[in-house]
Copies of this chain bind each other. A is one copy, B any other.
Amino acid sequence: MSSNRIRFAPLQERVISAEAAADFIQDGMVIGMSGFTRAGEAKAIPLALTEKHNDKAPQITLITGASLGNDLDKKLTEKGILARRMPFQVDTTLRKAINQGQVMFIDQHLSETVEQMRGFTLKRPDIAIIEAIAISEDGLIIPTTSVGNSASFIEFADKILIEINTSVSPTLEGSHDIYTPSARPNRTPIPLTQVDDRIGTKGIPFDPNKVLGIVFNDLPDSPSTVTDPDTETQAIADHLIQFFENEVKTGYLPKHLAPLQAGIGSIANAVLTGFKDAPFEDLVMYSEVLQDSTFELIDAGKMKFASGCSITLSKKCGDRVFNNLEKYKDKFVLRPQEISNHPEIVRRLGIISINTALEFDIYGNVNSTHVGGTKMMNGIGGSGDFARNAHLAIFVTKSIAKGGAISSVVPMVSHVDHTEHDTDILVTEQGLADLRGLAPRERAKVIIENCVHPDYKEILEDYFNRACEKGGHTPHLLKEAIEWHTNFEDYGSMKPNKN
């Protein structure tokens, strides 16, 4: 086994136990670890770390690509190991610790973390812990189901720990394209002009002298938790598809549209799934995560090629894809998240970006991260990388939550992740608001008319009309602007208190 997986001769005798590897992790260290959307995280070493006696557990800064599977963030939090965490997470236990101020969470655009390390505005890792399929004969670390920030962690870290995951099919080797921008001030353009361009190497080059050891694991990625489309997500998909059909009809978009990006989650997944029955052909994707819907579109003959930085699938879809990799291998590529999300490439390709909002307001500002303006949900992820530079920046959400106690369309969002300058299209199951070329007062009318749930439409109209009487480019009644949120805090509903 070892000889197939460690084909690079100088490292063949460097296998150590997960426990021995975990011992290298000292209090105060910055750890750069593989893992993006529950795919390809190192598993054995962080698990061994959580199994140390409490009094030996170090406190660390953990930087990953994005979220982790296998309950790692939960277990690391419970053991008090996480002093700082960046740039994204989706774990309930960690989220609670973040919101209690116990873990310092730095919520970043996912393309920027390693750029900041490269420029010394963020501390570089002491140790990189990277999951791999193998180490090739020519000395490349072959990532598994995600690339994330691994290439740059390996470059910038003082030391490297490698986890070889034997549960990942060796057939995945060759699916990665590793390219990292050179250091400034002599950086050259990123030479990617089409979604299927290969511009780098099939694995990550590294300095063998930095390797502390190699650990074997056979733990699978956690499967995707994305749920099936429901009536509302289907309606959102339908509105969007109708919009795209109109764009094609008017000649503003070709029949293959433009490279698609879709955020992770059930709504975006439903929208993509909706493309299966839509009259578009030869679609391509330039996104972060390749989800079930990506492979369904490939299977349906609708999608020609998908570029991402991780693959996160349900158990069922994962079995189909990973057991038939030869069939899919020329249809996708995995890149570092700095490249999958890079503003230079997003702008060059003219991506159609579809991401989920927690809430948006009548002027087009979007909150993607903070419940009630204070509590972190998951993080901004790559949504800003894409939306700012997209050809079309689309945000989707159901119009209400908690059985109608919350309206996702509000007078003023309680936290802004995407500004009014950056949003083109907003969609709920109620309808679609096309904000392109509109001034704030015009946007408000379109959003209230098309996106708001009927239960909230009248009071939102009333707010807007009274605000307009007061005046301003972006009319607001500041005393009422976030009252809907305080109503929810006080009375459990955003609706005006009747008492």
A interface residues with partner B (beta carbon < 8 Å): 84, 98-101, 104-109, 115-116, 119-123, 181, 184-191, 193-194, 251-252, 254, 258-259, 342-344, 347-350, 365, 370, 372-376, 380, 384, 388-389, 391-392, 412, 414-422, 424, 436-439, 441-442, 467-468, 470-476, 478-479, 481-482, 485-486, 489
Contacts and interface: CB of A to CB of B under 8 A. Distances in A.
B421 A384 contact: yes
Nearest to A436: B121
Contacts of A486: 478-479
Contact of A347 (B185, B259, B343, B380): B343
A120 B252 contact: yes
A110 to B, nearest CB: 10
A55 B124 CA distance: 67
Nearest to A479: B486
B439 A106 contact: yes
A157 to B, nearest CB: 16
A121 B437 contact: yes
Contact of A349 (B107, B185, B343): B185
B474 A374 contact: yes
Most buried by B among A186, A190, A437: A437
Which 3 A/B pairs are nearest by Cβ-Cβ distance?
A374-B472, A189-B189, A376-B473
A391 B436 contact: no
A478 B122 CA distance: 31
B106 A437 contact: yes
B101 A441 contact: yes
Contact of A343 (B98, B181, B388, B489): B388
A99 B414 contact: no
Contacts of A380: 421
Contacts of A122: 436-437
Given A370-B473, A414-B478, 7 more contacts: A106-B439, A121-B391, A184-B258, A189-B191, A344-B347, A374-B475, A415-B474
A416 B348 contact: no
Nearest to A123: B437
A184 B471 contact: no
- The interface centre, meaning the residue of A115, A421, A441, A468 with most chain B CB atoms within 10 A of its CB, is A421
A251 to B, nearest CB: 8
Contacts of A193: 186-189
Contacts of A388: 343, 384, 388
B421 A419 contact: no
B119 A373 contact: no
Nearest to A468: B101
B350 A344 contact: no
A459 B214 CA distance: 54
Contacts of A189: 189-191, 193, 344, 348
A6 B94 CA distance: 69
A374 B473 CA distance: 6
B478 A481 contact: no
A104 B419 CA distance: 18
A439 B102 CA distance: 11
Nearest to A252: B120
A348 B187 contact: yes
A476 to B, nearest CB: 5
Given A184-B391, A391-B121, A481-B482, A471 B374 contact: yes
A473 B105 contact: yes
Nearest to A376: B473
Nearest to A251: B120
A471 B373 CA distance: 11
A107 B421 contact: yes
Contact of A392 (B84, B121, B412): B121
B489 A478 contact: yes
A375 B472 contact: yes
